[in-house]
Amino acid sequence: MSWSGGKDSALGLHHALQSPDLRPTHLLTTLNEHYQRVAMHGVRAELLHTQARRIGLPLHEVWLPEMPSMEVYEQRMRAALDALAAQGVRTSLFGDLHLRDLRQYREQQLARAGWQARFPIWHKPAAELWAEFFDLGFRAVVVCTNEQHLDPSFCGRELDRDFLRDLPPSVDPCGENGEYHSFVYDAPYFSQPIAVQRGERVRRTYQASRPAAEDDATDCYRAQPDPFSAAFWYCDLLLAPAVGAVEQPTRAH
Query: Tens of pLDDT along 110-121?
Result: 999 999 999 999
- The percent of residues above 70 in pLDDT, for the chain, comes to 86
Give domain 7-239's CATH number out of 3.50.50.60, 3.40.50.150, 3.40.50.620, 1.10.580.10.
3.40.50.620
Question: pLDDT tens-digit profile of 54-88?
Answer: 999 999 999 999 889 999 999 999 999 999 999 99
Contacts with 117 (C-beta within 8 Å, 6 or more apart), sequence order: 91, 92, 93, 94, 103, 106, 107, 110
C-alpha 179/C-alpha 230 separation (Å) is: 12
Identity at 81, one-letter amino acid code: L
Give the predicted TM-score (pTM) of the model.
0.87
